[in-house]
Amino acid sequence: VAELNLTQGQYVSEGGTIMRLEGYQQLWVEADLYPNEAKQIKQGQRLKVLVNGWEDQAQWMTVDFINPSLQGGTQLTQIRGSIANVNAQWQPGLQVKVLLSGAEKSTKGLTLPVDAVIRDGKGEHVWVKTGKDSFEPKSIVTGTTNQDEVIITSGLVAGDEVVSTGAYLLYSEYVLKRGKHPLG
């Protein structure tokens, strides 16, 4: 019984709701993803789910819904699926980890602070030092991202000196002075 709308001695009118029953045989799983992670996910795709405290009992969910818009303020998108709740051992509200298929591939590369990467209509790029006081933009491909770091899967090589703070300032100044996008 999820909700009881009745007290002892209360009169009940025909058609009135007296209780709400819920079955927990299936539970929704909602996960927030960064846009570059969401690009890897398709509706109907199966993802591995680990419930905290029951990591040894991996579950599989099928993605039923991908929110087409980003959440304001966080720039995250939400996906949803459901998992079987055998023996009703889990309750709504538990924390889970959703493992993105293909994530293993996207974790190999160079790690940069998130603020070093400029994302705009022409893709993703970073500013690379080319001389004492000179920089130029370089197109990159990103992999897994968290709130602090991003994996660069291609576009950079070890030894490239990348602007890690102030990248957006360089981008803005370039556009202001030259009147065009740094990548053409």
Higher confidence at residue 164 or residue 107? 164
Distance between CA atoms of residues 5 and 134, nearest Å: 70
Distance between CA atoms of residues 18 and 47, nearest Å: 38
Question: What is the token pair recorded at 119?
Answer: 């994302």
Contact in structure between 49 and 97 (CB atoms under 8 Å): yes
Domain at 106-177, CATH from 3.40.50.10190, 2.40.420.20, 2.40.10.10, 3.40.190.10: 2.40.420.20
* pLDDT for 107: 60
Average confidence score pLDDT of the chain? 86
Q: What is the CATH number of domain 25-101?
A: 2.40.30.170
pTM: 0.48
7 pLDDT higher than 90: no
